[in-house]
A = this chain, B = another copy of it.
């Protein structure tokens, strides 16, 4: 019986959907996942710990009226700045040389990994960037002053940036959640990956250093996206 693999998978999906069950993502072939709009291949970028600053906190940390110095452009009009800070939680240890990202924002935000959170003894929630209400407090030290944030420290959620064209092609929209599979010797499926759509975005999944190490991230790591 010559039935296409994809046909069977579609039948399976429909049976489960008819039963109100969630279909498990089909496993792509290990050696060569077939890139398609149904199962797109997404390049992965790793976000190391970093800080976004408000105008007010920039003034305190780097001096009144000081400006960030862009050294590397990032997606969506953001950039890595020359400026760095030290972050301190309620432990004896601090983390130095934490990169500031520009431009300035309405509210300061400190994005760290779970690994960092154990060093600093802070308990940040896993959140989308900008969703800071009730997040963890943390102290930022700059060359000109110190800022004690009551909230603003988070572990950034797993997310994929893409253009509206990509979103249309893949059949997803801003705010959707998908799953992504990383192949290799530390094969891992990351669930709950948030879709972020903007004309300024290029296609890239952003994960923190913990997820990166869990999946055995190397340069040019890619994942396969599964809609849920």
Contacts and interface: CB of A to CB of B under 8 A. Distances in A.
A interface residue count range (under 10 / 10 to 19 / 20 to 34 / 35 or more): 35 or more
A191 B188 contact: yes
A213 B25 contact: no
A193 to B, nearest CB: 10
A186 interface: yes
A220 to B, nearest CB: 16
Interface string A79-109: 0000000000000000000000000000000
A133 interface: no
Nearest to A4: B19
A216 B16 contact: no
Nearest to A127: B185
Interface in A10-29: 12, 15-16, 19, 21-27
Given A16-B8, A19-B3, A114-B216, A188 B188 contact: yes
Contacts of A24: 24-27
B5 A186 contact: no
A135 interface: no
Contacts of A19: 3, 5, 8
A218 B134 CA distance: 20
**A-B pairs with the 8 shortest C-beta distances?**
A214-B214, A189-B189, A187-B191, A210-B213, A114-B213, A24-B24, A126-B185, A24-B27
